[in-house]
Amino acid sequence: MAHEVDGVPQRVLEYLTEVEEAAEDVLTTKQQIVDLDVKRNRNREALNALKHELSDSEKVKVCFGNMFIKFPKSKTKEMIEKDQEQLENEINDLRKGLKAKVNRLNELQGKPELRGYSLSPLTPDEVKAISNLLKR
């Protein structure tokens, strides 16, 4: 005889818990992507502000935590660009993982896998190669 909790078979409760955990995982990953994208946009704004800095000073004020420090403009730009690169990689990794998580959730819910969802964009080299082939 199957175990029941409040008249609901144990297997049904396990299934619902599994679906809920998979859905929560998808939502958490989406929120991480949004948070990292906000940070990436702030970095983009900072790089733009550095580019249009009118001051002749080679140092700019940079906020580290809750204090401002004068830092060389070139080092500041270099730090922000490195951060941008790291953010891009993290966002791309999360997006790749999100595809698998969404497919897992759909599988648990008995929905078909999203068609075309696991496609990746062409790299600049691939686009260039296709353009060259089409020009012939």
pLDDT score for 115: 66
117 in a structural domain: no
Q: Which two tokens stand for residue 78?
A: 């270099």
User: What is the predicted pLDDT for the residue at 58?
Assistant: 84
CB atoms within 10 A of CB 80: 17
pLDDT at 3 over 80: no
How far apart (Å, rounded) are the C-alpha atoms in residues 105 and 77?
41
| pLDDT given at position 42 | 94
Rounded percentage of the chain residues whose pLDDT exceeds 90: 42
61-116 pLDDT tens trace = 888 889 999 989 889 999 999 999 999 999 999 998 998 899 899 988 888 766 66
121 within domain boundaries:
no
Burial class (CB in 10 A: 0-12, 13-18, 19+), 131: exposed
10, part of any domain: yes
Q: Looking at the 3D structure of the chain, how many domains does it have?
A: 1
Q: Where in the sequence is the domain holding 87, given as residue range(s)?
A: 4-112
For residues 6-14, give the mean pLDDT.
Answer: 79
Does residue 134 sit within a domain?
no
36 within domain boundaries? yes
Say what the pLDDT of residue 12 is. 85
Q: Is residue 120 part of a domain?
A: no
Q: What pLDDT was estimated at residue 1?
A: 47
Q: What is the CATH number of the domain that holds 48?
A: 1.10.287.370
Is the residue at 135 inside a domain? no
45-72 mean pLDDT: 84
Inside any domain, residue 84: yes
